[in-house]
Structure 1
Amino acid sequence: MSKKLIIGGDTAFAQIAYEYFTHDSDYEVVAFTVDPEYLKQDSLFGLPVVPFDQLEQKFNPAEHHFFAALTYTGLNRARTRMYLEAKGRGYAPASYISSRAFVWRNVKLGEHCFIFEDNTVQPFVELGDNVILWSGNHIGHHSKVGNHCFISSHVVVSGFCNIGENCFLGVNCTLVNNIDLGADTLVGAGALVAKTIPEDQIVKPTVSEFLPSARRYFKVSSFTR
């Protein structure tokens, strides 16, 4: 029997989540919901779009699961707020793991996670609550990803890394072995992180003006926001 699911949001991620939950899970999407100030349409894919503050009037929390399909706005705060509020109101958090992802048997997976296709999650990895792994990432053995993180596409997290809460890792970035990434850190696309980074930093790729032919290399640059 399929489990009834409400998706938070109605933009691109919500539409993608609808496809995956509908065609690659045992959930049945029955509605979308958005905060009242963002309500711009009454239906999506033939399903109702309901104001978030009125959700219980139409959908009993005891009979429905919930997934907040929001991205990394405010270092994941928007998604975190909706997920925790829905949970507090009695909706069971849903997770999705693609049938085309490789997740080893002893991975510890928190609630309200979304793992896209072509992810490799190796043995002894721990993923916290509310973690998004977009497509094509490598999460190395014995690494830990904290709550409320967003890892975009083709990211390499090597072994024994520890990623703090509320982090964002941009496309094609790399973390070498045995480093920590502090909470609230944003790693830019293509950056190589080769040392431990304290919390609340921006890590971005830079170009060396000393290399011939403008050949690119990457180093860590940290800026407190």
Structure 2
Amino acid sequence: MGDTLRPGGREDAAAGPDVMRRLILFGCGNFAQMAHHFFAHDSEYEVAAFTVDGEFQESDSFRGLPVVPFEEVVECFDPADHDLFVSVGLREVNRRRAAKVREAEEMGYALASYVGSRAIVSTDFRPRENTWVMETAHLHPGAEIGRNCIIWSRSTIGFNSSLADDCWVAGALVGESVTIGAGTFIGLGATVASFATVGERNVIGAGALILKDTGDEQVFRGAASEASPVPSSRFSGFNG
């Protein structure tokens, strides 16, 4: 039997196609709950435990699995037998997740990645470390995704576009031949026009429209809808 490529990118000659790798999830928030669901039901991983920084640990168990302090995780779950996925959100504009990715690697863990079975990706797409491509996301041919990038449902990354490391795209449209700088967040319903270059650590809010290049550490807010002066009790409904 030939070698197999483990999710996350490390070859494991001892593992066969029916052997499930064991996985540790860093975090106990909403993203960690989501990651647990999809890794458990739509991947080759068996989730073994959660881990958080000891000062933030509130319980010894979460979703029926043990929670161990991150400072002790190596003693409890050998990196030789377990991979790790850092499932924390947007704190410090992706910097906290990036820092934990580096710490996990220094501990010796291989970092898992997830590509949903209902995501649309090219047959030659290979996710890098700690990358998450959720169901219904669409990565066009030639799209390049850096390590530790989170691509949420209904996101589209256009032809020949690239995301640097540590980005988060939350249901946004990125046109063709776009360059997204490291650590950038792009919110729900936002659009980045084709051929634009977005600087590092940008925050592009929900519904924002980017038509030209941006600098580093810029913030763009979408236009919020305003409430009508007519109360809903007087609303007669839609035509048709």
| TM-score normalised by length of structure 2 | 0.84
Number of the residue aligned with 2:178:
161
Number of the residue aligned with 2:136:
118
Q: Which of the numbers 202, 208, 219 marks the counterpart of 2:219? A: 202
1:47 lines up with 2:65 in the alignment: yes
1:175 lines up with 2:185 in the alignment: no
Larger radius of gyration: 2
Indicate how the Cα distance of structure 1 residues 124 and 106 shifts in structure 2: closer, same or farther if over 3 A, else same: farther
**Post-superposition, which runs of at least 4 consecutive aligned residues in structure 1 deviate over 4 A?**
none
Q: Which amino acid aligns with 2:218?
A: Q
Give ranges in structure 1 of 5+ residues lacking alignment: 208-212, 214-225
Secondary structure in 1 matching 2:31 = helix
Give ranges in structure 2 of 5+ residues lacking alignment: 1-18, 229-240
Q: Structure 1 stretch 101-110 or stretch 51-60: which is displaced more? A: 101-110
Q: Is the 8 A contact 1:113 1:129 kept in 2?
A: yes
Q: Is the 8 A contact 1:108 1:126 kept in 2?
A: no
Number of the residue aligned with 2:16:
none
- For 1:206 and 1:29, locate their aligned partners in 2 and report how far apart those are by CA, in whole Å: 41
Secondary structure in 2 matching 1:29 = strand
- For 2:66 and 2:143, locate their aligned partners in 1 and report how far apart those are by CA, in whole Å: 38
Deviation at 1:84?
Answer: 1.2
Q: Which amino acid aligns with 1:186?
A: V
Number of the residue aligned with 1:210:
none
| TM-score normalised by length of structure 1 | 0.89
Number of the residue aligned with 1:80:
98
Q: Which amino acid aligns with 1:79?
A: R
Q: Is the 8 A contact 2:115 2:127 kept in 1?
A: no
Q: Deviations over 1:31-67 (max 9, x none)?
A: 0000011100110122110000011111111111000
Count of residue correspondences:
207
Number of the residue aligned with 1:128:
146
1:59 lines up with 2:89 in the alignment: no
